[in-house]
Structure 1
Amino acid sequence: MKAIFLVPKDYKLTGGMYMPINHYVDYFNRNGMIVDEIIELPYHKDNTCKGISERLHSKLSEEKYNIVGFTLNICYMMLRDFQLHKNSNCDCTCFLVDSMSLNMDSVIRNESIGKEYIEHILKFFLYELKEKYCLRNCNKIVYVSSVDKQYVLKRFNRDILGDVFVVPNGIDLPNEVSDKLVRNENDIPTLGTLTGFSQETLNNNLYPFLYSIFPQIIKEFPDIRFVIAGRGASVEVEEKLSHLDNVDYIGEVEDLHDFYDKVDIVVTTVKKDCGLINRVLEAWAYRRLNIGFSKNFAAFEYAENGVHYLSADNEGEFVSAVEYAIKYPDKARIIRDNGYDLVKNKYSWGKSGEVFLDIIENK
């Protein structure tokens, strides 16, 4: 039986979407499930959708297909507009990635009342409506995180038609990684983060760290540096970063080594509760010590605080975590290496592909 992937338009421009889809296409093709076509769809229904729907139903009139939709809007379109789940020759799977209801729920809980707060409440109700529709009309729902699954099972218990599965993202291990971590007791490490620069990311993730947490770390360790990498920063944001003490903005990096070779510790301060944070996987893969909010590691069911990462949920805990890495470099190195071993053994794309293909074929 063949498969068709329905994906967001321009998905190749988004690493967080292109990488998993590309790996799953490769794994499926190598293991007997030929991905016959990858169809890019607009995020919202437009005048191209009718022709795509008709073409899909025409293909289904000739043979059976497994059709997989990726992300909430695409899955909603696949079911609500294309009605593919009602075609007897179609076995539909909704790979929702994150629970967007949980995403917006967690954003709202971290906001003060204002214009954006109202907009996010309206988005929450829209996402909830779409997610409910998918849960009510598709037998196979997939998320990348067990946190999302548990939220959905609790919140939408009466709306679930079939089964809810978890397929975590994998990671490609780099061929070489430098052994950069504070080498002697009391050496000062370099902190760093890879980030986007949307207004939501700035307001919820980056600025709270830069203006509340990092100044407290500087008070204790005046020589410490914080390296920021990522694309999409406006001139205004670049100017703002250039005036912050102990902060080095290096812009977009084409080779990730250009970032990871500059830092000892990767900081993660994402306030959303949903999903699996790829940057955490990546930092482990590049053999860097991970420090971040405890919620940022919740999706990694095999990871333990103090064994694979150091959690910190306020200014004092961040200072303590950095101090631990400085005072006990050998112990910090063990935690870092445990993280590397974790992704090597548990988070390969091959393992994720095997789980996903089994869901498609046998569940």
Structure 2
Amino acid sequence: MKRLEYFSQNNEIYFFCVVDNDDEYEYRADLLKYCKEVHLYKRNKGAALFKLIKGPFVCVSRWIASMKKDINVCFERENIDWVIVEFPQMLGNISRRILNSNKLILSQHNIEYATLNNLAKSITNPLKRLIYNVESKRLYYYEERCYREMSVKLFTFVSIEDKAFFERKFGKSNTLLVPIGTEIHEYKESKDSCNAISFFGKMSYPPNKEAAIWFSKNVFPLVQKEIPASKFYIVGKDPSKELMEISEKNPNIIVTGTLDSIEGYYERTDLVVIPLSHGGGVKVKVLEALGYGKLVVSTSKGIEGTTFQNGEELLTSSSAEEFAAICIDVLQNLPCYEKVRRGGYESVRKNFTWKAVVEKFELELNRLK
């Protein structure tokens, strides 16, 4: 939403989006604050099963005939400078007329097929693992065909690694790094530790769920053994049954579910953990936490795609034991990490505010005209 807010200051935006459930229609009112038109379409997973011959499920479940028609009508009616498509899965909603217009910008975010492939490796259920593997391969071949046949003016990425990987894999050079932005909040000096650790994210997203379970089972027990009063907050909507069961067994692990605001949890948190082992692109939760002035402890995967340095802007670990040792030391000696915490906050303030990110992107778009 913040990207749209800043982008709308110098541009008229016609917004077309697929939503997963009826609750998401409520965002239309907020979107209209920044967009001239807002069109939302319900994703139909059931109907997608009959279209699998046309492409992978992650794509065809998002292809909606009325959406494609409306986008084309808008393109013909208005003086459109650029058509920005978020994710290759959405390309099936773009008409041939637009694809040949030399006005198409494709925001990759992650290397989607690689993300699916990595997820498959972590799934123990043989059938689910097979499904993810097949989807990953089908998505790769779909993307490869699109990039070969379509006229894409510019490919944008949020991660340095993903941008470089894409250039090597598909032989494209018309790429641009457009990092994720965040908001900066008031920086507060260190206070006595609350012994509180938090992980923020949508818990229905498989890498987040996997990370929360791994930390709860392999890291937090070691922390709790050393600091019995410590608490681990899993903050995010759609927690799984397994996460809820973990919370029921250990009252020091708190699963919040959906919240109207996460401000209070950032307020009470001493450090934010990013225990991810899968997922592509820059993790928004890293930038968000640093923008709140919080100390971050992450796996190397959690900060992939960034230039953040261990010991200077955040802390990283390579094992459950090391992760726990760092968390214990931070909780017991929080003021000693003031320099690292301040370093992360200042890096985000200088380079990753939404205002700075959008201004650089607009400059590049103007150069391409």
State TM-score, norm by structure 2: 0.79
Match of 2:162 in 1: 148
- SS for the counterpart of 1:254 is coil
Q: 1:169 to 1:12 in 2, by over 3 A?
A: farther
Structure possessing the higher relative contact order (Cα contacts under 8 Å, 6 or more residues apart) = 1
CA deviation after TM superposition for structure 1 residue 77, in Å? 3.0
Q: 1:326 to 1:139 in 2, by over 3 A?
A: same
Task: Tell me which of 94, 98, 107 is aligned to 1:84.
Answer: 98
Output the CA distance in 2 between the equivalents of 1:113 and 1:153: 33
Structure 1 window deviating more from structure 2 (122-131 vs 138-147): it is 122-131
Letter in 1 for 2:220: F
Match of 1:30 in 2: none
Output the CA distance in 2 between the equivalents of 1:53 and 1:256: 35
Output the CA distance in 2 between the equivalents of 1:39 and 1:82: 20
**Counterpart check, 1:168 vs 2:179:** yes
CA RMSD of aligned residues (A): 3.2
CA contact (8 A) 1:230 1:253 kept: yes
Q: 1:38 to 1:358 in 2, by over 3 A?
A: farther
**Counterpart check, 1:232 vs 2:238:** yes
Match of 2:112 in 1: 100
CA contact (8 A) 1:145 1:168 kept: yes
CA contact (8 A) 2:295 2:340 kept: yes
**Counterpart check, 1:279 vs 2:285:** yes
Match of 1:51 in 2: 69
CA contact (8 A) 1:3 1:67 kept: no
CA deviation after TM superposition for structure 1 residue 325, in Å? 1.5
Output the CA distance in 1 between the equivalents of 2:280 and 2:212: 18
CA contact (8 A) 1:8 1:70 kept: no
Q: 1:68 to 1:331 in 2, by over 3 A?
A: same
Output the CA distance in 2 between the equivalents of 1:214 and 1:348: 32
Match of 1:214 in 2: 220
- SS for the counterpart of 2:180 is coil
**Counterpart check, 1:340 vs 2:356:** no
Output the CA distance in 2 between the equivalents of 1:7 and 1:272: 29
**Counterpart check, 1:322 vs 2:327:** yes
Output the CA distance in 2 between the equivalents of 1:326 and 1:40: 45
Task: Tell me which of 117, 121, 133 is aligned to 1:121.
Answer: 133
Q: 1:91 to 1:14 in 2, by over 3 A?
A: farther
Match of 1:31 in 2: none
CA contact (8 A) 2:200 2:235 kept: yes
Alignment of 1:246-285 (within 5 A): 246-285=252-291
CA contact (8 A) 2:201 2:208 kept: no
CA contact (8 A) 2:120 2:129 kept: yes
CA deviation after TM superposition for structure 1 residue 344, in Å? 0.7
CA contact (8 A) 1:179 1:287 kept: no
- SS for the counterpart of 2:165 is helix
- SS for the counterpart of 1:48 is helix
Output the CA distance in 2 between the equivalents of 1:38 and 1:99: 27
Alignment of 1:184-195 (within 5 A): 189-195=195-201
Q: 1:195 to 1:360 in 2, by over 3 A?
A: same
- SS for the counterpart of 1:65 is coil
CA deviation after TM superposition for structure 1 residue 148, in Å? 1.1
Q: Which runs of 5+ in 1 are unaligned?
A: 27-34
**Counterpart check, 1:132 vs 2:144:** yes
CA contact (8 A) 2:18 2:62 kept: no
Match of 1:308 in 2: 313
List per-residue Cα deviations over 1:22-55 (Å, max 9, x = no partner). Answer: 7xx96xxxxxxxx765554655223314532541
CA deviation after TM superposition for structure 1 residue 105, in Å? 2.7
- SS for the counterpart of 2:63 is coil
State TM-score, norm by structure 1: 0.80
Output the CA distance in 1 between the equivalents of 2:350 and 2:22: 29
Q: 1:169 to 1:53 in 2, by over 3 A?
A: closer
Output the CA distance in 1 between the equivalents of 2:80 and 2:208: 46
Output the CA distance in 1 between the equivalents of 2:181 and 2:21: 17
List per-residue Cα deviations over 1:75-130 (Å, max 9, x = no partner). Answer: 3432xx4441213xx51111122221221132234344612211111221232133
Letter in 1 for 2:361: F
CA contact (8 A) 2:199 2:212 kept: no
CA deviation after TM superposition for structure 1 residue 255, in Å? 2.5
- SS for the counterpart of 2:184 is coil
Letter in 2 for 1:104: L
Output the CA distance in 2 between the equivalents of 1:64 and 1:234: 42
Match of 1:360 in 2: 365
Letter in 1 for 2:138: L
Alignment of 1:25-44 (within 5 A): 37=37, 39-40=39-40, 44=62
